[in-house]
Amino acid sequence: MAKKKATIDDLAKITKAGFDAVDKRFDAVDKKFDAVDKRFATVDKKFEAVDKRFGEMEYNLKSYLDDRLADLKGDIIAVIKGDRERDRAFKVKLLAIIRRNKLAKTNELKLLSELIR
C-alpha cells in the first residue's frame, strides 16, 4: 500500500480540527471557572455577613466592658470612702478618749485634731 502524501489542505483540516478540540476544552474550563467565580461571590457574601456580626459583637463587648468597669470603679470608690470614714471615726474616738483621760496637753490635742481633718 502506498502512502498518500499530505497536502496543505489536509494539514489545515487536521490543524483546524485540533484547534476546535482545544477550543471546546477551553470552553469547558471557562465554564468551570465561571462556576468557581459564582461560588467565590457566595463565599464573599457570607464573609461580609460574618464581618458584620463580628463588628456588632465587638461593639456589644466594648459596651459591656465599659459598663462593667464603671460599676467596679463605683464599688472601689465606695469601699475606699467607707474605709476613710471608718478611719476618721476611729481617730475622732481615739482623740476623745485621750482628751477625756487627759493623756495629752492642750497643744498636743490641738495638733492631733488638726491631723484628723
d(CA 109, CA 82): 25
Top mean pLDDT of 4-18, 33-47, 101-115 is at 101-115
Domain definitions of the chain by residue range: 33-116
- What is the chain written as a DSSP string? -PPPPPPHHHHHHHHHHHHHHHHHHHHHHHHHHHHHHHHHHHHHHHHHHHHHHHHHHHHHHHHHHHHHHHHHHHHHHHHHHHHHHHHHHHHHHHHHHHHHTT-S-HHHHHHHHHHH-
Would the pTM count as exceeding 0.85? no
Confidence band of 2 (pLDDT split at 50, 70, 90): low
Q: Which residue has the higher pLDDT, 32 or 90?
A: 90
pLDDT band at 86 (very low <50, low <70, confident <90, very high): very high
Label residue 107 by pLDDT band (50, 70, 90).
Answer: very high
